[in-house]
Amino acid sequence: MSSSESRPKKIKDETSDKRKRQNKTKAKTEDSDAENSDVGEHRRLSAYELERLENIRQNKVFLSCINLPQATKDLKRLTQPKPSQKRNLTRSKIAEKDELPPRKSLRLQKKASDSVSLPPEPRAALSIYNAIDVMPKNPPGPLSMDPVNVERGSGLPLELLQLCSEVSANANEEKVDLDLKQYCSALKNMKIPKDGVAKVVKDRIFSAAFHPCTSSLLMAAGDKWGKVALWNLGAGWGVDGVLLWEAHTRPVSCMAFSKANPAHLLSLSYDGSLRCMDIEKAIFDDVYDTEDSLKTFDFLSDDCSTLVVGALNGDVAIVDRRTPGNSHESVNTLDTIIRCVNVHPLHKQYFVVAENRMVSVYDSRSLKKTNSKPVCQMHGHSLSISSAYFSSTGNRVLTSCFDNRIRIYDTSALISNAPLMTSIGYYMQTGRWLSKITATWDPKQEDCFVLGSMDRPRRVQVYHESGQLLHSFRDEDHLTTVLSVTAFHPSRNAILGGNSTGRLHVFTD
């Protein structure tokens, strides 16, 4: 080979080696840059991020070891039902369904029904306030007055009979009328004495009344489960002056002492019984008994022998205590819910009834079995009425309504629509756990009345018929609850109030 041919080949080989060296140098440079880039990126990451990347790497290694993705696919394949299985299941359900013959009405076919008739609904289920699990009422007939809060056989204290005999001696005392200024002054002097609060019954008080004796403050109260109690302020008998009896088995919604014989305390209950506590005979006599829930009563005669009794289902019964037995003379339906009846103090044939949303005055001599026409009505109530009472002369009627109004009507003339005299805004929404607030007249002052309050601090308030607030009774130490049930003493400067825990409070001078 000539030297001229070998020279180009040598140059070509040198060029090729040079290119290979350049490529290797370039590759090393790229690897070094990439490595430097990774190192720089890791240097920019925080310690937490580096730890997180390491945890992700370890989790991937663990999942690949247990072959989790493949296990998930196998589980889905095993649990997914085949289309043929779905269709077979649907067919089996349809096959199991039996075809029933079409129903045909016997009435349309003009055929008599051969089915067994349903048993009659028990009367207890028809009553509004009857419960399924209540205790049965006491058996008819007299009940012995054995107090349940003292030792059996202790008998009644002799002081009780002495208080009743004292009333007959002072019954003819004349009532002294006070002007409004003197009356307010007397109210301001009334406070709760040191022993003026006592737990007289076990449950919520539904009704309470003062005994008319003057030498001592003797009070009666009835609670939710039929207990009747007598409390003599400052007496040493019983427990703190309290004697307790189980006269009824449901709420004692109304009670009153007989004006003709103050040794008699009449009490009425939702259990359908009206009984007379005869202190002289030491028995609870049976006056009236029915299957319906009784709500209210009042005396229709001056000797307190005849009564008008109202039931929740709208029945008004005339009961004569002189008639043997515990039945009624007549029963008349007013086709409404009765919450209160009150007899005119002078004209005893008239009585006012607090109905659902109407207050009506009826004449007992013209009552009918149904559709009795009222002599007088009082309009303007938009919700249920809890009470309606005549004043001591019968010239006014005081109503308490759940529309948060206290109303006073002029009944000096019993015309068809009694005119409204005063309407007072007053919060009356006590709820289901408190007895309803009702306004009651002061028998010593015709134009003044008392009622409890939902306001704080707790109080008892006395109003004039014009709507003027005369006095608020407060006591931060002794009065801390709502006194829903209130009443004036018939002759002394005293007011009682009962609450939902069975306690009576007394304000006196």
What's the pLDDT at 108?
78
Q: What is the per-residue pLDDT for 220?
A: 98
371-392 per-position pLDDT tens digit: 999 999 999 999 999 999 999 9
pLDDT at 75: 75
Neighbours of 130 (CB within 10 A): 19
Q: What is the mean pLDDT of residues 454-458?
A: 96
DSSP one-letter code for 185: H
Query: Is residue 334 one of the residues assigned to a domain?
Result: yes
Rounded Cα distance, 276 and 271, in Å? 15
Does 424 fall in a domain? yes
Structural domain span for residue 288 = 143-148+155-169+210-445+463-469
Kindly state the percentage of the chain with pLDDT values over 90: 66
Distance CA 477, CA 356 (A): 39
Report, as an integer, the average pLDDT of 424-434.
95
Average pLDDT on 170-184 reads 74
**442 pLDDT more than 70:** yes
Residue 69, domain member (yes or no): no
- The continuous run of DSSP H or E covering 31 comes out as helix 3-44
Indicate the helix (H) or strand (E) that contains 445: strand 445-452
CA pseudo-torsion sign 476, 480, 486, 487: negative
Whether the predicted pLDDT of 119 surpasses 70 = no
Phi and psi dihedrals of 154, rounded to 5?
Answer: -70, -30
Q: Is 299 a domain residue?
A: yes
Domain-embedded: residue 307: yes
Residue 47 domain-assigned (yes or no): no
Q: Which of 295, 274, 278, 296 is nearest to 286 (CA)?
A: 274
Whole-number Å distance between alpha carbons of 509 and 502: 23
Q: Look at residue 5 and tell me whether its pLDDT is greater than 90.
A: no
Asked if pLDDT for residue 420 goes beyond 60, the answer is yes
* Number of domains the chain is built from: 1
- Residue 489 lies inside a defined structural domain of this protein: no
> Pick from 455, 453, 503, 500: which is nearest to 478 by CA?
503
Tell whether the model's pLDDT for residue 88 goes beyond 90. no
pLDDT digits (tens, 9 = 90+) for 332-341: 999 889 999 9
Residue 346 counted as domain residue: yes
At residue 370, does pLDDT exceed 60? yes
CATH number at residue 241: 2.130.10.10
What separation in angstroms does the CA of 453 have from each of 41, 419, 459?
78, 27, 6
DSSP string, 357-395: S-EEEEEGGG--SS-PPPSEEE----S-EEEEEE-TTSS
pTM of the model: 0.74
Instruction: Please check the confidence at residue 447 and state whether its pLDDT lies above 90.
Output: yes
